Structure 1
Amino acid sequence: MELRQLQYFVKVARKQHVTQAAEELHVAQSAVSRQIRQLEEELGVQLFVQKGRNLQITAVGKLFLSRIEAVLTDLERAVNEIHEYLDPEHGEIRVGFPHSLGIYLLPTVIAHFRKNHPKVKFRLRQGTYNSLIRDVMKGEIDLAFISPFPEKHSHVAGELLLREELYAIVPQGHVLCEYQTIRLEQLKEDSFVMFSEEYSLRAIVLEACRKAGFSPRIGFEGEETDTIRGLVAAGMGVSLLPEMALTEISELQPVKVRVIEPQVTRSIGLIHRTGEKLPLVAEVFREFLIDFFIRYK
């Protein structure tokens, strides 16, 4: 059993398609198929079954995948630790983040960090609240920016970095677009453009509306702040977005209005796996972030 076979197996399992896996691995499709076939022969089991044009992983394949992913993650960590031991300034930091923090916050802190650590590399992974926690728990990323910050969790720990205000956004020409401040209940008759259910900002908006005494009528749903902002600007409804998600200027721009009743905020934190020492370069970045946000406040 070769390392290459295991790497090809994991890639095919994730893509469920040999051609797509081969493209990402930058090898011929025949080479991937051959390695998978040899792995199945060595194990004496069938790891995949054909389903239309795609491959579907078998039950025993899923079992094997869960073990191999952990093995490859540990191997990658061991290699990184050796490189960091030789020269921490050439290390790599694996960071997860939600989309709403990738617009402004993440590029800002990385740019500041690289002023003193220009050779450190970053591997970034975007995800939802649950997927980021899962990736930290599995050791696939070292650190994750997350919102809301989980105050108590059995498998992850970290630091609260800041609280950010959410603004109401309305289309140009809306009856409230000239207001400096509003009460959230003033939007109760409007259709809301809302995040999909797996996104934590949806829960924050729903809770704020509940406190304001109404349940929002949802007209459209989206998965990224850019989509929400664009739909509101196009007159499809109203919404609430974090201040950082409204820094980008585009041709189609909604109007932002401060909500004073109730005040709507979200907590933003940094998490890592509980009870496990971070790689040296990731610990340096974590300490930098804590100091950065103390000064930011």
Structure 2
Amino acid sequence: MELRQLQYFVKVAQKEHVTQAAEELHVAQSAVSRQIHQLEEELGVNLFMQKGRNLQLTPVGQLFCKRVESIMKDLDRAVVEIHEFLDPEQGEIRIGFPHSLGIHLIPSIVAEFRKKYPNVKFRFKQGMFPTLIRDVVGAEVDLAFVSPFPDRHDQVDGDIVLTEELFAILPPNHPLAGEQSIKLEQLKEERFVLFSKGYSLRPIVWHACLEAGFTPKIAFEGEETDTIRGLVAAGMGVSLLPEMALFQTNPLQPARVRISEPKVTRSIGLIHRADEKLPPVAQAFRAFLLQYFGIDPSPKKEGKADTASAP
């Protein structure tokens, strides 16, 4: 079994068509067909079946493809790690983060890091908490910012790098918009604009309201901080957002008011795969981030991870 056969097999599985696969691989169609045929002969199974003008993986082909894709991903990563070992400043950092951190924090820290390592490349992935955890465990990313920080998880480890206060955001003409601070219970009769289920800010806001003695009435739900902020600014309701999500990105902005009681915060953690050494360039970036946030880089034996979600 040759590496070329596996590469051709994966490409045909992705394109479901030999001609299209050959075009992307820049080889003759006959070469692709021959390699696939030899692979099937060696394995003693049919990996594809005809479906109209396309090819479709057989059940055993689907099983084989899943394993081969994992092997190819590991092989690609191994090549990258060798290059990074030879020259860490030329490497690539794969990092995941929730949407709310992409407005200001991620651009700021990347710009600062690139002052020292101008040739390092970045590959970014945004997602909710479960997706980011899965991307770290599955080696899709090297590092990820997540909120809340997972307290117990056998496959990831990390550090809390930031605890951020949440503010009430109100329509600009709201009677409380000019206050320095308010108690959350003062919003008990208001209708709330919340993140959809699956985003970590939703349970934080929900539990804060329960602690203040009321269940929030939901007016609208959204999936991005810009949407939440825009709906509130348009007078559709009130909400709570972390300060990092309140940087102005358009002229229509809600009023921001500090909540004095109860204190509402979220934790932001930086996680990586447990018991696995990061590539040199990712390790350099992690060390930079811990210094950036003023975190002691000493290794910890306790404090692994839980599960939730994040915007």
Q: For residue 124 of structure 2, give the secondary structure of its aligned residue in structure 1.
A: strand
CA distance in 2, matches of 1:97, 1:39: 39
Distance change (3 Å), C-alpha of 1:240 and 1:84: same
The aligned residue for residue 92 of structure 2 is 92
Higher gyration radius (CA)? 2
The aligned residue for residue 218 of structure 1 is 218
CA distance in 1, matches of 2:56, 2:246: 41
Aligned: 1:287 with 2:290: no
| One-letter code aligned to 1:5 | Y
* CA shift digits 1:98-143 (9 cap, x unpaired): 0000111111111111100000110111111000000100111100
Return 5+ residue gaps in structure 2 as ranges: 296-311
| One-letter code aligned to 2:73 | T
The aligned residue for residue 11 of structure 2 is 8
Distance change (3 Å), C-alpha of 1:11 and 1:206: farther
* TM-score (normalised: structure 1): 0.84
CA distance in 1, matches of 2:13, 2:109: 32
Return 5+ residue gaps in structure 1 as ranges: none
User: Percent identity of the aligned residues?
Assistant: 56
Alignment of 1:227-246 (within 5 A): 227-246=227-246
Q: For residue 109 of structure 2, give the secondary structure of its aligned residue in structure 1.
A: helix
Question: Do the aligned residues in 1 keep the contact of 2:10 with 2:65 (CA within 8 Å)?
Answer: no
Q: For residue 294 of structure 2, give the secondary structure of its aligned residue in structure 1.
A: helix
CA distance in 1, matches of 2:288, 2:60: 44
Q: How far did 1:211 drift?
A: 0.9
Q: How far did 1:186 drift?
A: 1.1
Question: Do the aligned residues in 2 keep the contact of 1:40 with 1:46 (CA within 8 Å)?
Answer: no
Question: Do the aligned residues in 2 keep the contact of 1:9 with 1:36 (CA within 8 Å)?
Answer: no
The structure whose residues are more often helix, as a share, is 1
* CA shift digits 1:42-69 (9 cap, x unpaired): 5544669979xx9998755653454233
The aligned residue for residue 122 of structure 2 is 122
Aligned length in residues: 282
CA RMSD after TM alignment: 3.1
Q: How far did 1:167 drift?
A: 0.6
CA distance in 1, matches of 2:37, 2:191: 54
Q: For residue 96 of structure 2, give the secondary structure of its aligned residue in structure 1.
A: strand
* CA shift digits 1:61-92 (9 cap, x unpaired): 65345423321221121011111122111000
Question: Do the aligned residues in 1 keep the contact of 2:129 with 2:146 (CA within 8 Å)?
Answer: yes
